[in-house]
Chains A and B, each alone.
Chain A
């Protein structure tokens, strides 16, 4: 009798199942609007030219080896990453109260941050502290905090399906009603999956309540630069909160903005009140990292570090990021125009108002099923599409498919 005979079959992760189904589909016009990875106008993955250049430099450098990184990661990577998020002239960095923990992608940064909070925030080992995630949010947020030990994970109002925009009133109300010291996971920009971000004025309102009610700010920043094409613009919310004096975490991912998906490059930026607090925090972060992965992988961190720390490469990288952001903006523009031209019922302004990789189309599950089964256009059941999956070659077909779905299926 096996010790594992009672292990149940777990459901597959939806977004990966979607891609698996897409791969098996032999329809010539199939389109994958599922998984969040950038594609060129030829529907190909894109290794950034600056990344190729830096990788060559690394391979050719005989002085480099494969020794262990420190537990918290490559120092030059950590400082450069935090600088990218907080800005070159960040007072918090000047005051020596900002630190970084190199992590395995944005997921790893979230998880290390979550583990730390569970151990040391709001008392010690306080698993009862409520953790609020947006409704909807990236599906993995829930599991990250749950597996870190938090018992009470709750949604906060975010997406207003009726008006296809931010439910600000609901959000602010949740902030007012949340127990003090609750943890809030905020998307720094390019909200996943809705693509809907608060305006600067709205962020100010959010910050005011969070400060007054002593709520903890945990930013998830997976798309800096990728959303608007500007690093500064996409980091505005983070920098605003820092300037308001919050102690906060930022889980940064370089998967999308560097196209380094499979190298697992991320950074947990910690903004503490002062250096003394920061030192103690980082010492405890080390203990968490040591029993999770000991020390992080070096390749991706080297690539990002070299790029961010060299002015020419940094400029080249910003150009590459803008290329990606611009293509997405173009696709948004074109999709909206085509739907309007087709006279597809409903308003489609949200497609260009939303930002980043994703768009919450507003298609309902039945319409999504139609898209997949009848049109071989793969998107998430929530109606989320990855704008990067659109190209000048397939956009007519996709627009037509959406039109059919909306008119034929209710």
Chain B
């Protein structure tokens, strides 16, 4: 209330001040005390980009894939699936609360592997969610209501900006473990193990399954093994966020390796999946939330409670994207086509990373840019400092987030040279 500007204070008293001409039929607004919410930092970048008139401008902010012409990419397998679906003339009846059954089955199989013992024994439950965000939120709500352990969720430092408010709004508290090492632009393995070893038992630890957002820094398999071991020793509840399966290395099984390894090692994980990036279904909001339980009975009980959580948020999930995803996953030619296209997207990103580093060398940069190639997935933590980012934006119209993160998807063969030039200019 102390943030009310003076004119708002007068406004609230308006009905006793004739000079303000407040109508007798209307009392003062209910909403005088509502503060202006700060703009979303990531989406704010796109807003600023749109306003810029420089023909060479580059949007390296939001993480949506672009083709080499800088255009949104609708996968062929998606178009084909849509045509198949349109021909079927299906109805639009409500889905069950937990979503389309064929979708949740295919979604779980994609993450865990079709022959996973967990799926065969029926000891897991997967519900369809509103993409990754919706999945994380359902998961957070579920933990908030049913997790008997500490309220703390440990995020890697840094993590996706939206993780914190999601868990907080669900009633959990946020803590962090070391993750990114700015001196190497790589993984702070020692720091991570050190911090994780001190996390109180039964706390929740969130892990990015692959293509860490925002750094692009992933643990190596050997490092994952040590993390899994330590997490088990500490008896922590593992919450995997997998938003980029297939998109990181180009190989869906390779990208899901960490998830499958943890399960194999006996962790009963919870898992959020998104199909926004790997199927390009961003606006259709396709995702899944999985809870691996002790047995089928527990899975049924957990499922019943997930439904009770979901119903008062949005009743049941949207059909369109789930149908597309299911059609792709369950139709052999479409599935093969999808795997090729995902591979193609991942490859283009990898190529851009290589070209950017080559470009920087050509510009004469003497810095070590190896991390640009070592990092994986859509994002690259360049190591640029806020002042350098500001210059890059002001002088070159290159838009990115203040933390130095760039979305490699926004880089193309047409503009990678310009980007290298700009980065070199602000870092030499």
Contacts and interface: CB of A to CB of B under 8 A. Distances in A.
Interface in B79-129: 82-83, 86, 89, 91-97
B176 interface: no
Nearest to A55: B86
B40 A2 contact: no
Given A9-B300, A286-B40, A291-B166, A262 B29 contact: no
Interface stretch (B189-197, B250-258, B304-312, B385-393): B304-312
Residue from B30, B37, B64 having most chain A Cβ neighbours under 10 A: B30
Nearest to B169: A291
A263 B281 contact: no
A67 B283 contact: yes
A280 B312 contact: no
B265 interface: no
Nearest to A65: B72
Contacts of B304: 9-12
Interface stretch (A195-203, A271-279, A388-396): A271-279
Contacts of A298: 283-284
Given A7-B146, A66-B283, A284-B37, A264 B29 contact: no
Given A9-B300, A13-B307, A143 B285 contact: no
Contacts of B62: 68
A103 B35 CA distance: 22
B298 A4 contact: yes
B56 interface: no
B25 A2 contact: no
Interface string B304-348: 110111011111111111000000000000000000000000000
Contacts of B33: 120, 123-124
Nearest to B161: A290
Query: Contact residue range for chain A?
Result: 35 or more
Interface in A283-306: 283-284, 286-288, 290-300
A291 B165 CA distance: 6
Interface in B280-301: 280-285, 291, 293-294, 298, 300-301
A189 to B, nearest CB: 20
Contact of A291 (B36, B137, B237): B137
B94 A7 contact: no
A108 interface: yes
A49 interface: no
B37 A283 contact: yes
Contacts of A111: 312-314
Contacts of B91: 44-45, 47
Contacts, number: 235
Contacts of A124: 33
A8 B300 CA distance: 10
Contacts of B134: 292-294
Nearest to A246: B26
Nearest to A147: B312
Given A8-B301, A66-B282, A291-B162, A297 B34 contact: no
A133 to B, nearest CB: 13
Given A65-B72, A245-B26, A299-B318, A59 B86 contact: yes
A297 B285 contact: yes
A260 interface: yes
B268 A3 contact: yes
A19 B325 CA distance: 27
Contact of B298 (A5, A144, A272): A5
B92 A259 contact: yes
Contact of B294 (A2, A105, A148): A2
A214 interface: yes
Contact of A274 (B29, B43, B72, B202): B29
B148 interface: yes
A108 B318 CA distance: 12
A206 interface: no
A66 B78 contact: yes
Given A111-B313, A260-B92, A273-B29, A67 B64 contact: yes
A147 to B, nearest CB: 5
B86 A262 contact: no
Given A247-B29, A274-B29, A290-B40, A261 B94 contact: yes
A121 interface: yes
A116 B82 CA distance: 36
A107 B313 contact: yes
A313 interface: no
Given A7-B298, A107-B313, 13 more contacts: A6-B146, A37-B93, A47-B91, A47-B92, A59-B83, A68-B64, A107-B315, A120-B33, A123-B33, A147-B313, A277-B31, A280-B37, A283-B37
Q: Which 10 pairs of residues, A with B, have the shortest CB-CB distance?
A: A104-B314, A283-B37, A143-B312, A298-B283, A294-B133, A262-B319, A293-B130, A10-B304, A299-B320, A45-B91
28 contacts: A3-B148, A3-B202, A4-B291, A4-B293, A7-B301, A7-B302, A9-B300, A13-B97, A45-B91, A55-B86, A66-B280, A66-B321, A68-B282, A105-B314, A107-B311, A107-B314, A108-B314, A121-B30, A124-B33, A140-B311, A244-B25, A262-B94, A263-B92, A280-B37, A284-B37, A290-B165, A297-B318, A297-B320
